[in-house]
Structure 1
Amino acid sequence: MSTYTTGQIAKKANVSVRTIQYYDRKDLLNPATVSEGGRRLYTDHELQQLQLIQLLKSMGLSLTTIKDVLESPNANQVLDSLLVEQTRSLTDQIKASEKRLTLVEQARRSIGDLEMISPNTLTGIETMMESRKKLRTVHITMMTLGVIMDIIEISVIVLWAITGIWYPALIGLIIIIGMATYTVHYYYQRVRYVCPQCHTVFQPPMKSFFFSRHTAKTRKLTCPHCGYHGYCVEVGDWESN
């Protein structure tokens, strides 16, 4: 029968030496013998037990539960039930993955051969991927400016209500209008839109940008390339400063 040192059995089971030592301290995996020099030696039996422990751990069982199972009088029956349940769970996962794979294959067939995807499509996809970080920065900046404007507005209203002096409110209103104008200009200069039909990335005219209907991530615009009129996806302009 083969014997293994702590390092050897750890390598066999693809775990760390510290894991073996921890299991030993928890009385979960004891060595078969201890040499005269104090080396802890394991056999194939302990290797199989270690592999079983790792399997049960991967199934979500705690080490305490695993220890109780292994030490129970009907350990074999309990283990068999656990493995049957794990088999059922894995089978369900495989079926779910197969369904997702079928949907992906259907989606690929629906868009045709990869050679038919235009360079504009690839550019649009790449643009959206690369611009996420930039767009997040734009949104954070706009939120910050919005909070500042809210603070100014509340402050001048409170000051007006307390003192009855109106000109601070007028000054505050002028500041807010100036900041709002800057915010809109800042936003306009730092976002672009992707046409869902031809995937062209474009910047709409300021008038269309300002008055168009929009959601958090889209805006209803007319694509200058293909003439599509509808909701276009917002992306960050990575060339802006």
Structure 2
Amino acid sequence: MSQFSTGELAKAAEVSVRTVQYYDQRGILTPSEVTEGGRRIYHESDLERLQVICFLRDLDFSLNQIQKLLQEENREQVLELLLTDQIESLEKSSKEIEVKLKRARHLQKATAKRRQLSLDDLSDISRLMENQKSWRHLQWRTFGSLVLFILLYVVGLLIVIYYFKDPRGLFIVCPAFVIVINLWVFHYVKQFEYLCPNCHKTFDPSFKEAFLASHTPRTRKLTCPHCHVKSYCLQLAKSQTK
């Protein structure tokens, strides 16, 4: 039967001597023998136990969890429960890391376009990234409703033309379409507020100003009512709690 000193056990398990000593102090890896001179002797079973501890530590199990597992008689069932819980925790952490990574890439892309950034600029970028999900959700929901309305309009138009065969129905359907489209545009425009890049304040422009302003997919050229500077302001989805 193989025997190991503390250093030999650490080398066999590819860990540091301090790790073995720490696990001994925590009571999860006690030596099989202790000589009269206080020398600690470990056996093959101790090496296997240390390898199991290291494996579980690599999976981010806490020492308390490992100690509980090693003390249980039904280790298989306890390990299954711990692994299920650990997998859920790691999946949650991976999603959080993915979100942070995405934000970091957005920030890197935004800062690459500017030579100098103030704290207000960074605050604007951070707010824009936090608003990204709400903005996209609002875009999809709004344009989805438009597509649905157009489909209903086309169906209504076909019914008037081919079923009733009365062209006078077009004088009702067409104006109704124009009215609803205008109401949709008004509703769409009022779903957003704008962040001024000059004074870093948000504002709600009039429908006429927002509708007629030149724009990109995420900005509109508006006059800020706070600093009175006309510039391309960032479009943000309004909070649903407002």
**TM-score under structure 1 normalisation?**
0.49
Name which structure has the greater RCO, CA cutoff 8 Å, separation 6+: 1
TM-score (norm 2): 0.49
